């Protein structure tokens, strides 16, 4: 999803360098650009701004750890956030990857007392807005349109997680990895030729393995096979899908 907040971000590199008035005006623009708040009133936006914070993150910087108290909901303005947990044997399981225009930490609104997973930045620069959960809850109670819009967002997340679970159960590793490439290319790729899509990313092969429920060795083998078949070409941060139709796009 290419969202309005990405456009806003190119206008300023460091919010800390702005005067307080300018910084507050920019925060208002960020919050107004959040899709589920499109029906919030000016007073509600102003109230939420007083209980929100704009934050820049470096790559691999932790937003919150597992078991921390749930006090905030987060909105991704730019970059990527990984939500993951570790099993008893130490293996990481990626629950979701949040891109620009997505929220995370919404358990703060549904009775979750402590975090059940860790949130971590994946991009060299990721920008998020921290929304105080109690302040947002107050707006949800008084504005049914905002409440319904947020339900739609959370419902879409649940449907996507259900689809991923079904995929792990019924699809083989190759299909899951190809679907990962296809879905990311559809959402975040750029068309560069008649049938080609360029996907710029910050995933490691271990990230892809943890997200698809496979192993890093399996991801390496399948990506190399697609490369030999001339379906894709790739380097560290780019994957070029040479013929989108071959991946079902």
Q: What pLDDT sits at residue 21?
A: 64
Confidence of residue 66 (pLDDT cuts 50, 70, 90): very high
- Is pLDDT above 50 for 150? yes
- Is pLDDT above 80 for 19? no
Q: How far apart are CA 30 and CA 85, in angstroms?
A: 29
Fold of 171-247: Arc Repressor Mutant, subunit A (1.10.10)
The full 3-state SS of 61-129, as one line of letters, equals CEEECCCCECCEEEEEEECCEEEEEECCCCCEEEEEEECCCCEECHHHHCCCCECCCEEEECCCEEEEE
Q: Where are the domains of the chain?
A: 4-169, 171-247
- CATH class of the 4-169 domain in this structure: mainly beta
Is the separation of the CB atoms in 81 and 97 below 8 Å?
yes
In angstroms, the Cα distances linking 38 to 34, 44, 146, 231 are 7, 11, 8, 41
Give 187 or 67, the one with higher predicted confidence: 67
Q: How far apart are CA 228 and CA 92, in angstroms?
A: 29
Q: Which residues sit opposite 97 in a β-bridge?
A: 82
> What secondary structure letter does DSSP report for 242?
S
Average of per-residue pLDDT across 79-89: 88
Q: How far apart are CA 118 and CA 22, in angstroms?
A: 32
What lies within 8 Å, CB to CB, of 183 at 6+ separation is none
User: pTM to 2 decimals?
Assistant: 0.82
Is the separation of the CB atoms in 52 and 139 below 8 Å?
no
Residue 173 CA, distance from chain mean position: 23
Q: What pLDDT sits at residue 176?
A: 94
C-beta neighbour count of 224 within 10 angstroms: 12
Confidence of residue 12 (pLDDT cuts 50, 70, 90): very low
pLDDT digits (tens, 9 = 90+) for 184-233: 988 888 888 778 889 988 899 999 999 999 999 999 999 999 999 989 99
């Amino acid at each position: 999803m290419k969202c309005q907040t990405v456009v806003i971000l190119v206008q300023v590199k460091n919010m800390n360098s702005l005067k307080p008035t300018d910084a507050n005006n920019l925060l208002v623009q960020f919050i107004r650009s959040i899709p589920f708040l499109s029906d919030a009133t000016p007073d509600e936006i102003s109230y939420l701004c007083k209980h929100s914070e704009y934050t820049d993150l470096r790559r691999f910087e932790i937003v919150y750890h597992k078991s921390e108290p749930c006090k905030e909901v987060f909105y991704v303005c730019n970059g990527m956030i990984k939500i993951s947990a570790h099993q008893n044997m130490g293996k990481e399981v990626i629950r979701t990857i949040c891109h620009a225009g997505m929220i995370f930490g919404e358990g703060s609104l549904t009775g979750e007392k402590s975090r059940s997973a860790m949130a971590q930045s994946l991009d060299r620069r990721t920008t998020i807005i921290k929304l105080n959960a109690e302040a947002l809850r107050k707006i949800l109670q008084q504005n049914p349109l905002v409440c319904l819009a947020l339900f739609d967002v959370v419902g879409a997340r649940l449907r996507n997680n259900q689809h991923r679970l079904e995929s792990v159960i019924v699809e083989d590793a190759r299909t899951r990895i190809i679907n990962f490439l296809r879905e990311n290319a559809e959402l975040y790729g750029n068309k560069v030729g008649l049938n080609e899509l360029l996907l710029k990313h910050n995933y490691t092969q271990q990230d892809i393995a943890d997200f698809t429920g496979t192993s890093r060795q399996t991801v390496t083998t399948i990506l190399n096979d697609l490369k030999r078949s001339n379906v894709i070409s790739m380097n560290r941060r780019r994957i070029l899908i040479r013929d989108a139709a071959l991946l079902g796009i």
